[in-house]
Amino acid sequence: MADPQGQGFEPATGDGAEPSGAGRAAELRTAYEGLLQIRRLLTGGERGPAPWELRMMPRAVALVLEAAGFPPSAVDPAGRRSRTGYRVAPGARGLVEVTWAGPPGSGAAGEEAERLAACAEELERHGWDCLVYRGPRGRRFLEVGAPHPGG
């Protein structure tokens, strides 16, 4: 199913409605397998991001997290958080920011250290560089970027 911009499958970033649909799992699997195939063809392996991933980093990061089975956060029609999970957004300096978000009282803040560490492990396995920071009110977030040359 194509998105309005004609870009194909749109991975969940955690800022939309809860992903659903009968064919979503198959679409996700196809998109993820496509990501790996593009990496093999353009970079000679699956370890590092392909050029398109670097141009569309939030989308690529969200695809890796969703394909790995991490739950995305979600918002209801009024824009309130309705589900606990990852949230992927453009960050500072051309990087991507991953947070662990949830509705008030959901316990997301108590889970964030463990859950973000697991997200970082998966992203690093896919060749992304991740650093954990503390933001406002001491909440943790991942800063995700392209791998540094040579390592």
pLDDT of residue 5: 41
pLDDT of residue 4: 37
pLDDT band at 101 (very low <50, low <70, confident <90, very high): very high
pLDDT at residue 45, rounded to an integer: 74
Given a cut of 50, whether residue 3 has pLDDT beyond it is no
| CA pair distance 56, 16, nearest whole angstrom | 18
What are the distances in angstroms from CA 22 to CA 10, 25, 27, 36, 138? 15, 8, 10, 24, 39
* Coil/strand/helix, residue 70: coil
Predicted structure pTM score: 0.91
Instruction: Report whether 8 contacts 60 (CB < 8 A).
Output: no
For residue 38, the SS3 value is: helix
Give tens-digit pLDDT for 127-138: 999 999 998 789
pLDDT at 7 over 80: no
Tokens of 113: 């250290």
Q: What is the pLDDT of residues 20-47, one digit of tens each?
A: 888 999 999 999 999 999 999 987 776 7
Bridge partners, 72 (sequence order):
86
Could you tell me which residues come within 8 angstroms of residue 75 by beta carbon, excluding any fewer than 6 positions away? Answer: 15, 16, 17, 81, 82
